[in-house]
A and B are shown apart, each in its own frame.
Chain A
Amino acid sequence: MPNLDVLTSTLASGFLLGGILALIALGLSIALGVMRLVNLAHGELLVCGAYLSYFLLSQFDVDPISGLLVVGALMALIALPFQRLLIAPLSGKGMEAPMMTMFGVSIILQNLLLLGFSADTRTLEAPYAASPVSLGPVTVPQIYLIGFAISVVLVVLVHQLVTRTGFGRELRASSADPTAAAAMGVDVRRVHALTFALGAACAAMGGVLIGTAFSFTPSTGATYLLTSFAVVVLSGVGNIFGTLLAGIAMGLLQSVGALAFGDGYRDFVGLVLFLLVLAFRPQGITSTGGR
C-alpha cells in the first residue's frame, strides 16, 4: 500500500490530467456528435498543435501557454479547407468513407511532420513545464494545474458557445436533424465546417498542454486517439460538461490503475473501462439518454 503522500499526489495529478484529457476529447466529441465523423486523425491534429507551438516557440520565442489561443486559431484555419475539400463531399454516404479519409489524412500528416521536424523527440520548454507545486502532502506538476485550469475554461467557453450563441443553436439543430435544420435555413455545410474547425482547435490546444507536460514525436498522436474515444463514449457523445466529468474520471482511474498495477497498465485500465461502458451503457455514464 503506497504511502498517503504518494496516494494523494497521484490522485490529485490524475484529477488534473483528466481535465486536459477532457479538452482533447472534446474536439472528438463535437465532431462525432454533430457530423457523425469518426476522426481517426484526431491524434495527429493534437500533435500538430504541439508542433505549431514548438515552431512559434523556437522561431518567435512565443511562450506555449501565451500562444495557446493563437495555435488554436491557426489550427482551425488549417482545418477548414481540409473539411471542405475532403469531408464535405462525402456527407450522406455513411460513416465509413469520412473515417477512412481522416485515416488517410493522419498518415499524410504524420509523414509531413516527419519531413518537417524529423523524428526527434521534442518538448515544449517553459518555466512552469517541469516544476512541482506543493500543498501540504500533495505535490502535483505545475503544468497539470495550469493545464487543468485552461481546459476547464475552454470547456466552459465551448459550452457557452454551443448553448447560448446563434451558431450554437445551428450546431445543435444540425446535429439533431440535419434535414429539418436545412429546411429551417441553417447552412448545415457551414456548421459542419466550423464544427470541425472547432474540434481541431480543441485538439491542438490540448496538444500544446500535452507537449508542455510530456514530450512528442510525429507518431505520438495514436496513443491519445483511443483515450479520447474512451472519454467520449464514457461521457456520451456530444455532451460537453459530461466530457469534462468523464475526462476527470478517466484521469483518476488511470492513475489508480497505474498505482495498483504499474504505469504500463495505465492505458489498459482506461481501455477496459471503456469496453465495459460500451458493453453496458453505450450512451455514456453521464448522459441522461437521448442521442
Chain B
Amino acid sequence: MNIKTIVAAAAITLGLTASALAADEIVIGASIPLSGPLAGFGAYMQWGYQTAVNDVNKAGGIAVDGKKKQVKLVIRDDKTDSNVTASNTETLISRDEAVAMLGSCTPALVNAGALVAERRKVPLVTGCAPLQAFKSVRPWKYAWALFFDEGDLGNAPFKMLAEMGLKTNKKIAILHDNGPDGQVVGGQIWPAAAKAGGYSVVRSSSFPIDSQQFTSMIAQAKSSDADIALVAAIPPQAIAMRKQMASAGYTPKILVMEKGAEPEAFAQASGALADGVLVGGYWDPSFPYPGAADLAKRFESETKQTQSQHIADSHAAAQVLLDAIAAAGSTDREKINAAIAKTDKTYVVGPVKFDAAHSSRLPITMMQWQSGKSVVVWPKDRANGKLIFPLPAAK
C-alpha cells in the first residue's frame, strides 16, 4: 500500500506539467514578497502590476501576431526568501509559460529571480532594485531595471544643504545598515560626498537589517555633537531608531532616513516624531508625469491606504513590459527583449530609457514629513512645500 501511495504521489508530482492556460492569453509572471518582512512592498507591487495589466485588458488587450489578446498576470508569493523567488521564477517560466517576468523587490530577491530569467532567456523588468546594486551583479542581457541610482540618493542631501545654504556645524553622523544598498550609500557615497563638501564624518556605524536596538550608536552620535545625521535603514529600524533618538535626547538639525522614512507607515507609527525627517524620494503624485495624481487617487480609493512611491515604479515597470510586447507585436521573447531596449517614453514615474547597462535612472528629490504629509522640499522646481529646518525637538 505504501509503495502505491509513493508511486502515485511521485507520478502526480512529476506529472504536474498541465498548465490550465487559455491559448489566447499573454502570460506575464511576477514573484513578489507577499509575506515575510517585505510584505509591505509586495502589497504595493501587486497593486501596481495588476492595475497596469487591468488597464491594458480593459482597453482591449495587446495585439500579437495580428490578433488582440488579453494579458494574464500570474503572481506568486516568494515569502521574502530568495530561494523561493528563484523557484517561483522557474515555475512561472516553465509551467505557466510566462513570456516575460516582472521583478521582485530589493537586491537579494531581484537578483535571484533575474538570474533565473537570464539563464532561461526571459525578459524581466524590475522597478525596485537600486541601480548600482543591480549593475554590479553581471552584465545583463534580459533583465532591465528602472529605479534610482545610489549615487543620486547619497548626494541629494548634500546638494540640498549646499543649494539652500543651511547652517550646520558640518559634522555628520552616519548610521547605515549593511545590506547591499546600505553599504554603498552609507559606506561609500556619503563619506565621499561629505569629504567633497567639506563636511567631517565624526561617527560612522553599521548594523544588520534585523537589529532593533541602536542605543549605543545613537549615544555616540550624540556625544560627537553631529548636527547632521544620515541614516540608511528599512522602515522597522527607522521607526525604532527615531524613537530611540528621542529617548536619548539626540536631536540633530538635519535628519535624513533613507528607505526607512519613505512609506506612510513611518509617519503613522512615528506620529509627531516624523515631522522634519527627510528622505530621498523619486515620486510624488504632484509630479508632472502623465497620470501621476490619478494613480495615487485610484490607489487610495481602491485600497483605502495612503499612496506610496512603489505604486508608481511597479505600475511603470509593468507598463514598460506591456508596451514592449505591444511594440514587438509578438510573444517571442527575443523580440520583446529588443523592444524593451528601445523604450523611450515618459511613464507615470518619469522618463524611462535604458542605457547600455540595462538601467534607467529616476531622479531623486528630497521629501520631508510635515504633519503626517509627505512634502517635496528639493529641488526647487519640484518642491511643493517649504523645508522645516532645523528638526523640531521632541516635546
Contacts and interface: CB of A to CB of B under 8 A. Distances in A.
Touch between chains A and B, by CB atoms below 8 Å: yes
Interface string B82-106: 0000000000000000000000000
A130 B246 contact: yes
Interface stretch (A22-30, A32-40, A68-76, A213-221): A213-221
B239 A263 contact: no
A219 B36 contact: yes
Given A132-B248, A264-B207, A13 B243 contact: no
Given A119-B43, A121-B239, A262 B205 contact: yes
B236 A6 contact: no
B139 interface: no
Contacts of B246: 130-132
Nearest to A266: B213
A131 B394 contact: yes
Interface in B178-220: 178, 205-208, 210-217, 219-220
Contacts of A258: 213, 215-217
Contacts of B215: 10, 13-14, 17, 141, 255, 258, 263
A130 B212 contact: no
Contacts of A129: 243, 247
Contacts of B237: 215
A139 interface: yes
B223 interface: yes
Nearest to A130: B246
B210 A223 contact: yes
Nearest to A257: B216
A286 interface: no
Given A132-B249, A214-B244, A220 B236 contact: yes
- Most chain A beta-carbon contacts within 10 A, residue among B212, B216, B247, B266: B216
B213 A17 contact: yes
B77 to A, nearest CB: 11
Contacts of B263: 120
Given A114-B35, A119-B43, A142-B247, A223 B212 contact: yes
Given A130-B246, A219-B37, A123 B240 contact: yes
Interface residues of A, number: 45
A118 B43 contact: yes
Given A120-B265, A263-B211, A2 B43 contact: no
A130 B394 contact: yes
Interface in A1-22: 2-3, 5-6, 9-10, 13-14, 17
A215 B236 contact: yes
B248 A118 contact: no
A217 B243 CA distance: 16
Contact of A134 (B208, B249, B266): B249
A219 B235 CA distance: 13
- Most chain A beta-carbon contacts within 10 A, residue among B217, B266, B269, B394: B269
B207 A130 contact: no
B207 A263 contact: yes
A208 B125 CA distance: 42
Interface in B240-267: 240, 242-244, 246-249, 263, 265-266
Contacts of A63: none
B131 to A, nearest CB: 25
A255 B265 CA distance: 29
Interface string A95-139: 000000000000000010010001111110100011110100001
A81 B9 CA distance: 36
Given A119-B40, A262-B205, A132 B247 contact: yes
Contacts of B205: 262-263
B214 A263 contact: yes
Interface in A222-276: 223, 254-255, 258-259, 262-264, 266-267
Contacts of B394: 130-131
A76 to B, nearest CB: 25
Given A130-B394, A215-B236, A215-B243, A264 B208 contact: yes
Given A119-B37, A121-B239, A258-B215, 7 more contacts: A10-B215, A17-B215, A123-B243, A130-B273, A220-B236, A263-B217, A264-B206
In the A-B complex, the 3 residue pairs with the smallest Cβ-Cβ separation, listed nearest first, are A141-B247, A119-B39, A130-B246
23 contacts: A2-B220, A6-B216, A10-B215, A13-B215, A114-B35, A118-B40, A118-B43, A119-B37, A121-B265, A123-B239, A123-B240, A142-B247, A213-B243, A214-B240, A214-B244, A215-B237, A220-B212, A254-B213, A262-B206, A262-B216, A263-B205, A264-B178, A266-B216
